[in-house]
Amino acid sequence: MAARMKASDRREQLLEAAIACFAEFGYQGTTTARLARAAHVSEPVLYQHFASKHDLFVALLEQIGKYVIREWKKAIAPLRSPADQLRVLLRLNPATTNPRGQHLYRIIFAAQSEYNEPMIQAALRKHYQQYAQFLTNVIKRAQRAGQVRRDVSAIGLAWQLVHAAIGFALIKPLEIPGHASPATIEQAIGLLMEQLAGDVTNPIPAQRSK
pLDDT, one tens digit per residue, over 108-162 is: 888 988 888 999 999 999 999 999 999 999 999 999 999 999 999 999 999 999 9
- Count the Cβ atoms, other than its own, within 10 Å of residue 139: 26
Residues in contact with 33: Cβ distance below 8 Å, sequence separation at least 6, in sequence order: 43
The pLDDT of residue 1 is 45
Residues 110 and 44 in one domain: no
Do 68 and 46 share a structural domain? no
**31 and 85 share one domain:** no
In angstroms, the Cα distances linking 76 to 2, 42, 87, 117, 174 are 39, 41, 10, 35, 30
In a domain, 46, yes or no: yes
The pLDDT assigned to 98 comes to: 75
| 207: in domain | no
Whether 70 and 172 share a structural domain = yes
Lowest-pLDDT range of 27-36, 160-169, 192-201: 192-201
Are 127 and 183 found together in one domain? yes
Residue 136, domain extent = 60-197
Flag whether 206 is in a domain: no
Q: Answer yes or no: is 55 within a domain.
A: no
CATH of the domain at 13: 1.10.10.60
Phi then psi for 14, rounded to 5 degrees? Answer: -65, -40
**Mutual angle of helices 7-29 and 99-111, in 10-degree steps:** 60
CB 200 within 8 A of CB 146: yes
For the chain, what is the domain count? 2
One-letter amino acid of 198: G
The answer on 183 and 90 residing in a single domain is yes
Provide the whole-model pTM: 0.85
Burial code (b: 16+ CB inside 10 Å, e: under 16) for 33-63 equals ebbbebbebeeebbeebbeebeebbbbbbeb
Alpha helices for the chain (secondary structure H): 7-29, 32-39, 43-49, 53-76, 82-91, 99-111, 118-144, 154-171, 182-197
Q: Are residues 16 and 68 in the same domain?
A: no
